[in-house]
Structure 1
């Protein structure tokens, strides 16, 4: 693939093409919108603030738990395809509504970095809520930073807060478009402290004006957690050609200019589901097969590149 300055092996063999087909088969059925039957629960922050949480549960066997954190200003309801993919893989999904959301009734009470402190409180409350249960942390943009913090990355904590971000690490992290290092939130070294397997996604049009680097290759900043993490820990980087921060308005903010990049989103969700099976369900034949399929997909193919370190 060659897009936005991305170049590497340009062709893939039949075995890799077969791996992609196998991965998509393993992660079937196809995405079908938000799963039915979500329920609402409220958790309490240290100051008594209520944290609204949406929970989706699979219809069949429960294989694991995903804690999902939305992007700045967004809401869990704007990620139906991701939720459907993970619930379809047998995982329940718990997603808080953060105070920076446009849907939150108290958003004006948490300007600037006050929302970051509230997000950390939300994360801690959610981990405490599930008790000793293993979990995978997932997020988009601002929420991807949070998820990486639950994987051992070391973000900058607000004044008065002490670490770690949460008392118990996730099994793995799924990070859609995490921010490039921002001094008040996280440094490159902070990303380098990542301690668990991770899937880190971006696109060659994933450039946000006023946020991080500029220029046609600025999208590479979203791979900072992948680049900074120590090699050998099952870290994957997924780059989608022509995809922007919002998948053309298909996630996070439906008001974004389209058209929605739904085919690319479907592919990203399928690969994230394969990663979830491989690293969020412990040991066994299913996880082993998922990891092998994921590793056979390393390299370039039309529209995407999967990296590993």
Structure 2
């Protein structure tokens, strides 16, 4: 089956990452607007570059997976807002990033499997260095697919969900990738989800109809699911949103984080009552 053998082999190795390295590296970490880079030896012999933003008065931790070819730094606008709200962020530099020093050594199939491993290692680092803190998975585009898998979605690569996750924030999606995503993929996504997309959210070669991005919301079990659709928003909306739209993204995601990471009943009420301004639709299941 496509992806399965490579993915399973890597994930089995990921059960015991070099956490002592992470504990040592993070022991003197300071909060700030720029991330600290922590290099973690990977079970498959690579070194994973983790960007780590530590929040003051930390409420929880977000493990973030960037879009294909991208970097954690490209998402500074939204990540810094979450950090300022009390959520530390740990984000790997995946091998498909154009800035990864070994980018040319990996094809797309290997990039998928190593992303799964990267996020398993990142979550293990969170458990070791932020014990007891709630964990939320988040990602953009290809990274959102990885985050949805962390949350319980089952692809042709098998099940790699983490029962410790409190929820998933998906900024757009990678679409229904043939041979990987099946009609039953989203049935396992039985935790809270916030999915943000737009009616111009197209991905050449992958998403020809922006409505494809709805599927994790529509086809997963109901309960704690929120879908926000911005009129005119494209696939890079997380970066190019104007100030008013971006403010709504931050308001919505921070209410989601507080509601499901920390169990804040007032935040849940705000999330469920969040009004949709002109040009925006909000759906809930």
What TM-score does the superposition give when structure 2 sets the normalisation length?
0.83
RMSD, aligned CA: 1.8
Distance 1:205 1:268 in 2: 17
Q: What corresponds to 1:261 in structure 2?
A: 241
Deviation at 1:297? 2.1
Q: What corresponds to 2:155 in structure 1?
A: 155
Deviation at 1:165? 1.4
Does 1:276 pair with 2:257? yes
Deviation at 1:126? 1.1
Distance 1:164 1:129 in 2: 21
Evaluate the alpha carbon distance shift between residue 101 and residue 230 of structure 1 in structure 2; reply closer, same or farther with a 3 A threshold: same
Deviation at 1:166? 4.7
Evaluate the alpha carbon distance shift between residue 148 and residue 169 of structure 1 in structure 2; reply closer, same or farther with a 3 A threshold: farther
- Pick one of 194, 198, 222 that aligns with 2:213: 222
Does 1:208 pair with 2:184? no
Poorly superposed stretches of 4+, deviation over 3 Å: 166-169
Structure 1 runs not aligned, ≥5 long: 1-33, 158-162, 252-259
- Pick one of 55, 60, 69 that aligns with 1:58: 55
Structure 2 runs not aligned, ≥5 long: 1-30
Alignment of 1:1-309 (within 5 A): 36-59=33-56, 61-131=57-127, 133=132, 134-157=134-157, 163-212=158-207, 214=208, 218-231=209-222, 233-247=223-237, 251=239, 260-263=240-243, 264-281=245-262, 283=263, 287-297=264-274, 300-309=276-285
Q: Which has the higher contact order (CA 8 A, sep 6+)?
A: 1
Please state whether the residue corresponding to 2:194 is helix, strand or coil.
strand
Deviation at 1:37? 4.1
Q: Which deviates the most, 77-86 or 34-43?
A: 34-43
Distance 1:103 1:289 in 2: 41
Distance 1:303 1:93 in 2: 30
What TM-score does the superposition give when structure 1 sets the normalisation length?
0.77
Deviation at 1:192? 2.2
